[in-house]
Structure 1
Amino acid sequence: MTRLPSLLVPFALALLVLPLAAGASSFAGTSAGSASGASSNSSGSSSGDDKVILAARDDAAAFVASDGQIRGARLQAALVHLREQDAAARESSDLALAQALLAR
């Protein structure tokens, strides 16, 4: 029997978990979405916000797939950013926010 290289296991798990992240889409559409909307209204551009969030997607997938064992620096930066911008994000767990990032 052939074994998957250990590096591929988190990504294989991410593919299995991604459909579950769809349940977090209501959060991504309201709370997390309003964070970037609020900053774009005040600054005229949300490209900086989008870059932080988009850069964290791979880290978020690894975090969700590993049940929180793999925490990348880009995910950490996005979590801090979301919590600075949105009160609802401050009340959410890291896992819920990571799932919302994947659902965006």
Structure 2
Amino acid sequence: MKRLTLVLGLAVLGLAGGAQASSFIGTTDAIGGSLVNSIEGTSDATSSIGNDKVVLDARDDAASFVASDGVTRGVQLEAALQHIREQLPELQATDMQLAEAILAL
């Protein structure tokens, strides 16, 4: 009887661990998919200005901005963000999304 209880207990723990792992994978897949979609949408919108010197010159600043989670804001990135918003006033994107799109150019 103790053996049966032990086996059932281990089985339940194994199932719970598997469910938790698949839940984590599902969550990370959903978040990753949302991020990719937002970046692709922003990238599509900014591709029309992808050959613009102001935007291309801001790639290093954009990399620093993304790497620092928005703390480091360079002058060239600020100019590029302003330029993009002037060229595409209908674009609804955060500074982080635009910086990521600049990096994707």
Instruction: Assess same fold via TM > 0.5.
Output: yes
TM-score (norm 2): 0.59
Give 2:103's aligned amino acid: L
Greater RCO (Cα-Cα under 8 Å, separation 6 or more): 1
* Count, aligned residues: 69
Quote the RMSD (CA, aligned, Å): 1.9
Alignment correspondent of 1:61: 63
Give the deviation of 1:77 after TM superposition.
0.2
Q: Kindly indicate whether residue 105 of structure 2 is the aligned counterpart of residue 98 of structure 1.
A: no
Give the deviation of 1:69 after TM superposition.
0.5
Query: Which ranges of structure 1 fall in alignment gaps of 5 or more residues?
Result: 1-21, 38-45
Alignment correspondent of 1:73: 75
TM-score (norm 1): 0.59
State whether residues 25 and 103 of structure 1, in contact with CA within 8 Å, keep that contact through their aligned partners in structure 2: no
Give the deviation of 1:26 after TM superposition.
3.5
Query: Which ranges of structure 2 fall in alignment gaps of 5 or more residues?
Result: 1-34
Identity of aligned residues (%): 49
Distance 2:60 2:40 in 1: 17
State whether residues 53 and 101 of structure 1, in contact with CA within 8 Å, keep that contact through their aligned partners in structure 2: yes
2:47 to 33, 39, 44: 33
